[in-house]
A and B are shown apart, each in its own frame.
Chain A
């Protein structure tokens, strides 16, 4: 898919056109010919059974993986064409990932886990630390700042993962479009609670795409998700 086919509508933050992802030649694609658009500020749930391709779809949008064919644009970036370095910078700038099992680093303390994205982005130490402390305070985790993840409860780990996903947000000069949320979950109640649009995926294809009127709820994840700033 060429750049010329990309829609020019500014409100479409995420745009996929004919995206296919195969892990093995000859095997069925994990994602097959998916096209969709997500507007800035939207909260979207991607649902489907295990192996349906929903996590792969999220990985492709977050530039964690590259499609076999098709085009993906996030903001002004054609993420399917980004080099690994550019993809890493894109994730720093544009994406906050909260994984299903949080993926905290066991041998780093809470504060070090939260600080890491800012440090990798080359943020000066003082503002980075100030921002991390603020986030932990907001998430009521200040008292656990020097604990290791193994000592945390599930809820506490989740809050640390949220803090880590948000650490770069206010340190960067972000656009004012607000956050766009993509939530990958098996849980329909969760999807209904936090999103107004549900995309059902089956066998790597979009089986349905339904929308409900109303405001986007605040971020409170219970599953793997990516937030786009």
Chain B
């Protein structure tokens, strides 16, 4: 047991210190603990390499010399080492509170703590859970693609999609990758948990993020604005019991009129009538579409169809 740990540590030291790639034979000669027979040491080295990659040691496979067919291994120090962060003790205390107060569910669970150990360990005390964020398998790869500026390809709702990720956003309990969609030629947001495949990255540095891009403002929050229908401005009367909540949700700027009984009339810009209808119906009998007549008539027709006999539902 100790032998293997010793061998792995020496292997890293040798690959870090070498100035040129080392062949498998050179490695076995320099690092003690490999078996003598070629097939055995080759297998052993493959296992060691897998373990090192698993913990994030970047082993490069390169040609020994220019135009050479033969390849060897080395670790580039600049790929291995964490650049200096110069965190203060207070900053480490703050990060420790963060990784304990915010629980990432699932596979990424202990990763924040592992990261903190690399940054100098656990300073200060842990905090009780304040927030739980869902873990989505695609997230680390999306985040990596975002920070390395690589175009990614993935399957989304049975479709192959491409994205230049400009940012990652967590909103309403869901993670989104936001960026430029080269096929749709526009900014698009993808819910990370609906990505059905692994993330295939392209080469690094493939695009530039627009200056000051803010993923939060790029994702439209109000579903009734998320559509391509001809825009129309709707007025909705909301009863006093729900008025405060609706105002908080839409913002005070949306209030077109305040009535003496405490009810409010809110203004909504609608480009998706189905989503608008859902919002108003969610308020049950505490809301009423006031204008325009066309949207009011839509709502009456929808409700009338539901109130009476429905086609297909039958009375039998």
Do A and B come together as binding partners? no
Identify the B interface with A (CB < 8 A).
none
